Amino acid sequence: GDSVTQMEGPVTLSEEAFLTINCTYTATGYPSLFWYVQYPGEGLQLLLKATKADDKGSNKGFEATYRKETTSFHLEKGSVQVSDSAVYFCALSSGTYKYIFGTGTRLKVLA
Amino acid sequence: DVKVTQSSRYLVKRTGEKVFLECVQDMDHENMFWYRQDPGLGLRLIYFSYDVKMKEKGDIPEGYSVSREKKERFSLILESASTNQTSMYLCASIPGQANQPQHFGDGTRLSIL
């Protein structure tokens, strides 16, 4: 069945460092891919999405490119801030109403 | 902007109690979901509803039931709460088409003592 694998955390970075959180997926067909962010004590918020191969989703300085050849959707940000500290979830939806989530990666950014 | 509201942020109940978690969305979405979130396990789907009075079991429906009497409201019911149901519960909704990003509530952190 469909699955999402993302790198385990926690990831600890200094402010202004470069961020990469890896996400790979297994799916039949052509899934839509999402990154969600969860701040402490809150639900998940959509960060960005991509619906087809080579699409690049971007928001708030975060980017991810839908790579069909490597079945990946890695999240990147050029310069992280303390306010980016949160848990990040990679997810896919492949044409049904079932959404598959990764286990989440906790990011901690130090001032 | 879509608003998904869960009735309680924190809830403490006792083993054996019947527990109701409520979720309301204000954007006329057809589809609503209940998940539980546990460390290291990500989000696991409990139940899904695609219309009023319509529901489908998710991956972990045992010990839970749901009710959708009105389009905007989706209730999760723990028939007889047990300590292994202590968790964060998240409600989400999407409009009619599949593959849309989900809109989540802020979650209910439920403790069963």
Chain A nearest-CA distance from B17, in A, is 25
User: What single-letter amino acid sits at A67?
Assistant: R
**pLDDT recorded at residue A95:** 72
| Interchain pair B9, A41: CB under 8 A | yes
Q: Give average pLDDT by consecutive 10-residue segment, chain A, 111 residues.
A: 90 97 92 95 94 95 96 97 97 85 95 95
Mutate: best of A5, A33, A44, A49, partner B, most B CBs <10 A? A44
Express each pLDDT in B27-61 by its tens digit.
899 999 999 999 888 899 999 999 999 999 999 99
Q: Extract the runs of DSSP E, i.e. beta strands, from chain A.
A: 3-6, 11-14, 19-21, 23-26, 32-38, 44-50, 56-59, 62-65, 75-77, 86-93, 99-101, 105-110
Contact A52, A66 (CB under 8 A): yes
Both tokens of A48, joined, read 């960005």
Q: What residues of B are in contact with residue A32 (Cβ under 8 Å)?
A: 99
Average pLDDT, chain B: 94
- First-to-final CA distance of chain A: 41
Q: Does A101 touch chain B (CB under 8 A)?
A: yes
User: What single-letter amino acid sits at A86?
Assistant: A
Reference B41, options B27, B55, B60, B28; nearest CA is: B60
Positive or negative: CA dihedral B33, A6, B83, B58: positive
